[in-house]
Structure 1
């Protein structure tokens, strides 16, 4: 990758910057505003305007690359994303504030994420940008948590730390750079601090996926590391209560939030009574609505009215599971079909991918854009999910095009002979 000079960046580099900003925009604007307001005081949102203008500058610079990569069917898909909450607004139970919020997220977060996802082409360069941005994000998180102390327990912290952790663990397993161990350990500590147990699970799954891809072929050295790792995993599973208790006690001395460790110790990570209330209601609703659901956004109205969510503000009023969300919004059968199509689409891409850099991006996006949707967040507001979908679609097009060229060349060679 060439030395970064903003006067000479090409379209691909601008797109890579926007690709990173999809994940880090909230963190950047959050840290920027806190630092400036800590020094200056009331800025009348000029700090927010400054970051937004920078975002728009890079977005406009990357627009030619986006337009070249966008097909008619992409435009139809994005138009459908806008129409779904609008159509649901005609239901009698719809809520205008919820519809407005979803439309805002779709238009300003999800659609740009999809567009930047399909637009990147230089995957090795994108990996370098993601890696450098992970260190920047880690420094910003450390500053927010331990210097100005404004982000001690929050989902933003958990998911930003998850992104950093995934970058470092994938790079550690694939390239064996020891400096990644430092970044990974800091990311794990910040994830624990965030009190988001699901991020720890996603990071663990990301590590396993990366190991499956990159611990091959099994040379003696790799076999030794794999054996040691397996022994350590078995030891942790057998003695996890002792380890968690010791970690909780140690971190507690430094005033680190250890609620997640307490949840693990009590076997209560997934047994949250609010989530159970949501899951039960969503499943019962889906079973009684086979072919027609409540529509995009109206599931939140029903969940608020009929579950324990109405008694608290800690947990979001969405199904907390992407498959349940499909079933509730579109009906049980149609929701199942959409879920199967999504899984099939991802599997079709995974089995065809053989580019090492693209594989790294895929693993990271699955960890931050898909896995969290099984325990938190909503797909219709999750920019990382649409970044994953856009990336996979763009990559599949290139793979298909390369195969067509290869087949055509073989036919030409055969005719020539």
Structure 2
């Protein structure tokens, strides 16, 4: 019995290391993909390396899943559900000529294995540590990408680069809430400035969501400490508002000196940071009309998308479009319940920080992107649903 416990314990530790490293490595691969797309488009070596490493990570995860009947069974169930969802949508005839095969392949071969890996992580301190190391390394890399590739952009901003930066910022902020080291906060501030220079406004929704969730929903802080933090933030915001125009002019001058023409700062200076919708209102009105035509059953996964890049850009509309009002609203309520319950659940500081990090990042799905193409959404759900007793107890 004792020997079995030792073996099982070693297995748990090994699984934690493997799953944490695989998830973190996939995050690192997304950063390397940005290097490839922005700076080294002709590099066959880097492209091949990224592809092989990605396949290797997924195979490593699968190798850990298939040796455990429970994990293997969960994998089969999720793959079956995903497959049936796309098959039903295809049978309904509403997918059209979108490249749905690529979306399904990404979900089936990558996102589902990663989410199962996340579900079975029992020591989230390891995951936080691994993510933090990559986030630190990502700061100079992402800044270099922005500076070196900016001149070749079709527009003055890069939405996808901004969201990659945002995920690193959230990791740094999450680490700051764990150990209160100014170094993490400073790096987050520097990278946030570059999001302002070259990104869209969406990433700041994630940052704002992180702060709000930490202060209003998380149970990690006492009420007295929350009040103190809120007062401090209000004082800082007051100072910023009083000097708002001066700060904007300074930031815009810095962006120009570096070589950027910040769209976000210009919108702030023009007072259109919130009102400017980038054409989303027209797009969402179109999808609302489609929803009204089939309010009960919907159109299925990716149903009635105009194209791969012109989806509703709103997770609520996307659920209603895909599943109709009854099932769509049910799924949205369940999703909200899962996220809120996970954030408020009492657990160790690393688990809480990880969950708030991923939940905050997924908040951008209300204004941009689709959950079908965001790996963090699938991992977020897995982290929130997991009911394991955390292996790390000393930080509770």
TM-score bin (small chain):
0.7 to 0.9
Structure 1 stretches of 5 or more lacking a match? 1-8, 305-314, 402-417
Q: 2:375 aligns with which of 363, 373, 383?
A: 383
Q: Name the SS for the 2:310 alignment partner.
A: coil
Give the Cα–Cα distance (whole angstroms) in 2 for the partners of residues 33 and 338 of structure 1: 35
The runs of at least 4 aligned residues of structure 1 exceeding 6 Å deviation read none
The aligned residue for residue 8 of structure 2 is: none
Checking the alignment, whether the CA contact within 8 Å between 1:85 and 1:296 is kept in structure 2 is yes
Q: Which TM-score applies when normalising by structure 2?
A: 0.83
1:72 counterpart residue number:
73
CA distance in 1, matches of 2:383, 2:183: 28
2:62 aligned residue: 63
**Aligned counterparts of 1:283 and 1:364: Cα–Cα separation in 2:** 31
Alignment pair present for 1:278 and 2:280: no
Match of 1:269 in 2: 274
Displacement after TM superposition at 1:224 (Å): 5.9
The alignment status of 1:166 with 2:170, answered yes or no, reads yes
- In 2, Cα distance between the equivalents of 1:278 and 1:334? 23
Q: 1:249 to 1:47 in 2, by over 3 A?
A: closer
Structure 2 gaps, min length 5: 1-12, 392-396
RMSD: 3.0
Count residues in correspondence: 372
Q: 1:329 to 1:128 in 2, by over 3 A?
A: same
CA 397–179 in structure 1, closer or farther in 2 if over 3 Å, else same: closer
- Measure, in 1, the Cα distance between the counterparts of 2:211 and 2:263: 23
Deviation at 1:358, TM superposition (A): 0.5
Q: In structure 2, how many angstroms separate the alpha carbons of the residues matched to 1:47 and 1:153?
A: 25
What is the TM-score with the length of structure 1 in the denominator? 0.79
CA distance in 1, matches of 2:26, 2:146: 22
Query: Equivalent of 1:373, from 341, 345, 365?
Result: 365
| 1:53 Cα offset (Å) | 2.1
Shift of 1:333: 2.2
- Specify the alignment match of 1:81 in structure 2: 82
SS at 2:347 equivalent: coil
**What secondary structure, in the 3-state scheme, does the structure 2 residue paired with 1:293 have?**
coil
Alignment of 1:288 with 2:303, yes or no, is: no
Residue 185 of structure 2 aligns with which residue? 181
Secondary structure of the structure 2 residue equivalent to 1:251? helix
Counterpart Cα distance in 2 of 1:379 and 1:111: 13
SS in structure 2 at match of 1:94: coil
